[in-house]
Amino acid sequence: MVLGLAGGYCAGKDAVAGILAEGGFQIIDVDAVGHEVLREPEARELVAVRFGPGVMAPDGQVDRRQLARRVFRDRLELAALEAIVHPRMVLRVREELAVASGPVVLNAAILFRMGLDRLCGAVLCVRAPWWKRLARARRRDGLGLVQGLRRIASQRGICPKLPGPGVDIYYVDNADDGNALRERVLRLVREKGLGN
């Protein structure tokens, strides 16, 4: 079983992934895959050419913070970055799935935008109110108000309201933290048979 895990910036995907990992799921963190892709020489070169030296660190690696500042201000810039990294990320995810055993979670904020939902038997979409997400962004990543709101806005609509053909979508509300979230996730997995 491949279970997709989607949700906006600071909605609580990683918290849900942790709960699922404790329940025996193997987690494929698609954000981490993206970081690996940005270290590949070909992707690094394409990013440097497209976005300029301002997004490159002195050691020749991509400065992800500078790149994020740039792409989350402009949808066209974000689309250009996604065109470089997403095909490479999807290829790596497919390679990891090919060798996985047991139930797997694809933890990807933009699972649907990347087309990874087509690899899943079901998808959990984690939701939280924007003000909770903003508070988490400020606490976790030290973002200011405007930066946090830009990141949240850049992922608007990433969980569809209706399921597409072939994939069931279940929503997990994460307005509160802690045990209530754990209970909701474990109950959903058990009731829907998502760990099989």
Q: What is the CATH number of the domain that holds 27?
A: 3.40.50.300
CA distances 152 to 64, 135, 170, 185, Å, are 17, 11, 21, 23
Residue 159 binned pLDDT confidence (cut-offs 50, 70, 90): confident
Number of domains in the chain: 1
pLDDT tens readout for residues 63-102: 999 999 999 889 899 999 999 999 999 999 999 999 999 9
Reported pTM? 0.86
Domain that holds residue 51: 2-192
Instruction: Assign 152 a pLDDT band (cuts: 50, 70, 90).
Output: confident
Rounded CA-CA distance 95/28 in Å is: 11
pLDDT at 67: 97
| Residue 148, pLDDT score | 77
